[in-house]
Amino acid sequence: MAINRLFTCVYHFARISESNGGPGGGDGQLLQIINKRVDNSHYWQVALVGLLIVSVNALPVVAQEETTRYDLAACVSRAIEVSPSIQAAEADLEIAQVQLGQAKAARFLPKFDISWIVGPSPEARGDALTGESSWQNLSVFTRTEVSLVQPLYTFGKLAAAQNAASGGVRTRLAGLDKSRHELELKVAQAYYLLMLADELWELAEESRNEIKKARKSIDDKLEEDTGEYTYTDLHRVDRFIYDVEENANKVEKGRTLARSGLRVLMGLDETDPVLLAEDRLRSVRVDIQELQTYTGRAGGRADIRQLGAGIGIRDAQTQAARSELFPQIFLGGGFKFGRAPNRDDQNNPFLKDDFNFTQLGAVIGFKQSLAFAGTSAKVKKARLEKRKLEYLSRFARKGAELEIEKIYRTLREAEANVSAAKKARKATRRWFVSARDGFNAGLEDAGELIDAVKEYGVIRAKYFNAVFEYNRAWAALQIATGQSILQ
């Protein structure tokens, strides 16, 4: 099942990437792809990957050109750096911070305007009784106006606006953490998937080499006519050569696509190599604690924090709506100054000249909305919306705890499977060694050796699959409890 799932995952990952017009299109589907399952009836194909392995040690690895090697932390850091979803979440956070700045600025001089104009001024001499005006003698006048409004007491309206904006910042910050954690989980699963593919590739390479040795041994003994083997043994091995090659080709395709999937998440070019720093797929070394320890961390999840911030926003909106039932007291002021050099000043306070004047003053006022029925309905609506979010938050907390328990049980199951697979691998190896020695001595036919090697290959594949499931469950548990997988 492990190999089939691997092939299915990476194949559909490539299809999704292509259908979305490029690597970025399949980014959001990786988690669902990795969770895809294949029917257990196809698990026998795993055995063919390890067919006729006569040596436990891996073949020497061909030296590669020195290039960058990535561990899990490097893969995650690279993916976060280039991810468009992270960049969009960061932009949302900056927008919320700007809105918070606007709410704070509204407390001090929310209206403070200044204007300055200049234009032609006709000559005017005299006063209101004997004055004369002439458009033939023009000059230039200037006018300056300053106006301001300073809230004095708003019965909590401005404070509520600031609290709502602060809640928006907390919501966006939790959203950014959520995007990062989701991306971390995708990268971790792709990383361990590629390591699993590398292990299966090594099994396939061993099978290819060892079956060639076994066939040559049988063919040589047949030519020598030692009587140890028959042509039936040779034909049976030839039949299994096809199965080994077929599955080796599948593993090669799956390994290539798995590497491409990780490359897409990391934003690398198609020509950039993706080499892992770890050479073997091993279980993550962590101390698994009691279930209550993890469920107690549910409140630190980004989605739960978002709901908490949303409740705070609704509470602030309720306060803002309630403040409209009371008057908004403010201080208003202004200054106006105009000057035209070709006009006489008018000292009579009852006369108005739009060209020569000086005005300065300040007032205290209040503004009261008289739509009390509508305002009361608005307050009630805000309270109900807050109560609704509180109910959803409680439900989400229970759902989060259940999700954490499910992942925790999966982690424990995978831990037990890894331990059992280690024991089974030792037992099947002893069976394989016995069958191999008997085959080499001419005491066992090819069928017995094939059965032993098939089971040895199955157990080795199951072991690597169990390690993969363990590491994946651990990463999922970290994310489900609001932790980074790098912690």
**Mutual angle of helices 231-266 and 157-224, in 10-degree steps:** 160
Q: In what order do the strands lie in the sheet with 111-125?
A: 111-125, 132-153, 328-339, 357-367
DSSP 15-69: HHHHHTTSGGGGGGGHHHHHT----GGGTHHHHHHTTT---SSPPPPPP-----E
Looking at residue 397, its pLDDT comes to: 94
Task: Tell me the pLDDT tens digit for each residue of 151-167.
Answer: 999 999 999 999 999 99
CA distance 346 to 203: 104
- H or E stretch at 260: helix 231-266
> What tokens were used for 212?
């060639």
The mean pLDDT value for 190-204 works out to 90
**Residue 457 clears pLDDT 70, i.e. is over it:** yes
Beta carbons of 58 and 202 less than 8 angstroms apart = yes
Beta carbons of 107 and 158 less than 8 angstroms apart = yes
The mean pLDDT value for 339-367 works out to 85
Looking at residue 151, its pLDDT comes to: 92
Residue 78: closest CA among 240, 190, 204, 233: 190
**30-39, 88-97, 453-462: segment of lowest average pLDDT:** 30-39
Helix (H, G, I), strand (E, B) or coil at 1: coil
**Residue 329 clears pLDDT 70, i.e. is over it:** yes
Looking at residue 146, its pLDDT comes to: 94
Residue 446: closest CA among 222, 200, 209, 250: 222
CA distance 470 to 481: 17
* Chain mean position to CA 180: 4
CA distance 107 to 432: 81
- Check residues 21 and 253 and name the one with the higher pLDDT: 253
**Residue 445 clears pLDDT 50, i.e. is over it:** yes
**Residue 34 clears pLDDT 50, i.e. is over it:** no
**36-50, 89-103, 338-352, 389-403: segment of lowest average pLDDT:** 36-50
**135-144, 317-326, 346-355, 396-405: segment of lowest average pLDDT:** 346-355
Cβ-based neighbours of 336, under 8 Å, separated by 6 or more: 143, 144, 145, 146, 357, 358, 359, 360
The mean pLDDT value for 439-459 works out to 74
Looking at residue 446, its pLDDT comes to: 67
**43-52, 60-69, 202-211: segment of lowest average pLDDT:** 43-52
DSSP 369-419: ---HHHHHHHHHHHHHHHHHHHHHHHHHHHHHHHHHHHHHHHHHHHHHHHH
Strands 132-153 and 111-125, sheet pairing: antiparallel
Which residues sit opposite 275 in a β-bridge? 69
**Residue 432 clears pLDDT 70, i.e. is over it:** yes
CA distance 384 to 382: 5
Torsion of CA 471, 474, 476, 478, to 10 degrees: -140
> What tokens were used for 254?
């799956």
**Residue 414 clears pLDDT 90, i.e. is over it:** yes
The values of phi and psi at residue 183, to 5°, are -70, -40
Q: What does the buried/exposed string (b/e) look like for 238-258 if buried means 16 or more CB atoms within 10 Å of the residue's CB?
A: eebbebbeebbebbeebbebb
**Residue 403 clears pLDDT 80, i.e. is over it:** yes
Looking at residue 123, its pLDDT comes to: 84
Cβ-based neighbours of 327, under 8 Å, separated by 6 or more: 155, 366, 367, 368
What predicted TM-score, i.e. pTM, was given to this entire model? 0.72
CA distance 208 to 215: 11
Helix, strand, coil % over all residues of the chain, rounded to 5: 65, 15, 25
* All domains of the chain in start order, with CATH: 2-103+159-313+377-480 (1.20.1600.10), 108-157+320-373 (no CATH)
CA distance 437 to 429: 12
pLDDT-derived band at 66, boundaries 50, 70, 90? low
CA distance 170 to 161: 14
Task: Tell me the pLDDT tens digit for each residue of 245-301.
Answer: 888 888 888 888 899 999 999 999 988 888 898 889 999 998 999 999 999 999 999
Other C-beta atoms within 10 Å of 406: how many? 14
Beta carbons of 340 and 356 less than 8 angstroms apart = yes
155: left (phi over 0), alpha (psi -120 to 50) or beta: left
Looking at residue 142, its pLDDT comes to: 93
Cβ-based neighbours of 364, under 8 Å, separated by 6 or more: 152, 329, 330, 331, 332
Beta carbons of 481 and 297 less than 8 angstroms apart = yes
Locate all alpha helices (DSSP H) within 301-371, ordered by sequence: 302-323
**Residue 177 clears pLDDT 50, i.e. is over it:** yes
**Residue 229 clears pLDDT 90, i.e. is over it:** no
> What tokens were used for 367?
């503004």
Long-range contacts of 381-384 (CB under 8 A, 24+ apart): 381/321, 382/314, 382/317, 382/318, 382/321, 383/318
- Mean of the per-residue pLDDT values of the chain: 82
pLDDT-derived band at 127, boundaries 50, 70, 90? confident
